[in-house]
Amino acid sequence: MTADQGDISGLTIGVLGGTGDQGRGLARRFAMAGHPVIIGSRDAGRAGAAAAELGRELGSEALISGAVNAEAADQADVVIAAMPWEGHKDLLASLAAELAGKIVIDCVNPMGFDGKGAYALPVAEGSAAQQAAAVLPESTVVGAFHHVSALVLLDPGVTSLDQDVLVLGDDRQATDVVAALASRLPGVRGVYGGRLRNCGQVEALTANLVSINRRYKAHAGIRVTDI
């Protein structure tokens, strides 16, 4: 199935950098929503171990496998980029062929930390998502899931994520697919948030959320009112 055929419920989700907290968290929630999921890694063994652990938690009905990033990119219908900012450009550029023709969901927040807390890093292209689009000219890049805490995604006690996911991109069909995918997660509404050129401030807002979390001992998400 491809992402532009209307029914998104059977789409296979690949996750690059899927062995990390954010990747495993999104993989977990999409598997719980019934999607086949492929956890990607630079190492097949790590991918397999992460997939097996999630499979043990979710049971045999969950369709979770592990593969090196290139295989995950090749075999999935929609691919989430969930690697650290440091490895973002190189890993995506190396997978341009496998990702061609696909929607790539970028949730990467270029962020630094110092004694004063988190802060947004400047990005030459404007945002991580725009950098992804620059190195993946044959893919459709959509920014989403920047503000969803991995701890919340991974917490079995959290039955409703209770937040909106801002979805940004230049292709209306692709942003509709990603908004619909986001809305399949419990308590989540996918909300169109503008073109990719407006993704920088969405990524940067994560530093504010980190500050909020520290101050209020929370896992804050965002809600958009009046829609």
Ligand X SMILES: NC(=O)c1ccc[n+]([C@@H]2O[C@H](COP(=O)([O-])OP(=O)(O)OC[C@H]3O[C@@H](n4cnc5c(N)ncnc54)[C@H](OP(=O)(O)O)[C@@H]3O)[C@@H](O)[C@H]2O)c1
Instruction: Name the residues that contact ligand X, by CB under 6 A.
Output: 17, 19-23, 41-43, 46, 82-87, 91, 107-109, 146, 148-150
Q: How far apart are CA 137 and CA 124, in angstroms?
A: 17
Return the number of other C-beta atoms located less than 10 Å from residue 36's C-beta: 18
Q: Which is nearer to ligand X, 62 or 132 (CB)?
A: 132
Q: CB of residue 86 vs ligand X: minimum separation in angstroms?
A: 5
N-to-C CA span, the chain: 31
Q: Which is nearer to ligand X, 3 or 145 (CB)?
A: 145
* DSSP assignment string, 86-134: HHHHHHHHHTHHHHTTSEEEE----EEEETTEEEEPP-TTSSHHHHHHH
Q: CB of residue 191 vs ligand X: minimum separation in angstroms?
A: 16
Q: CB of residue 129 vs ligand X: minimum separation in angstroms?
A: 11
Q: Which is nearer to ligand X, 3 or 82 (CB)?
A: 82
Q: Which is nearer to ligand X, 4 or 96 (CB)?
A: 96
Inter-residue contact 18 to 41 (CB < 8 Å): yes
Q: Which is nearer to ligand X, 87 or 194 (CB)?
A: 87
Q: CB of residue 36 vs ligand X: minimum separation in angstroms?
A: 20
Q: CB of residue 35 vs ligand X: minimum separation in angstroms?
A: 19
User: Kindly report the CA angle at 214 between 185 and 132, in degrees rounded to 5?
Assistant: 50
Element (H, E) at 14: strand 13-16
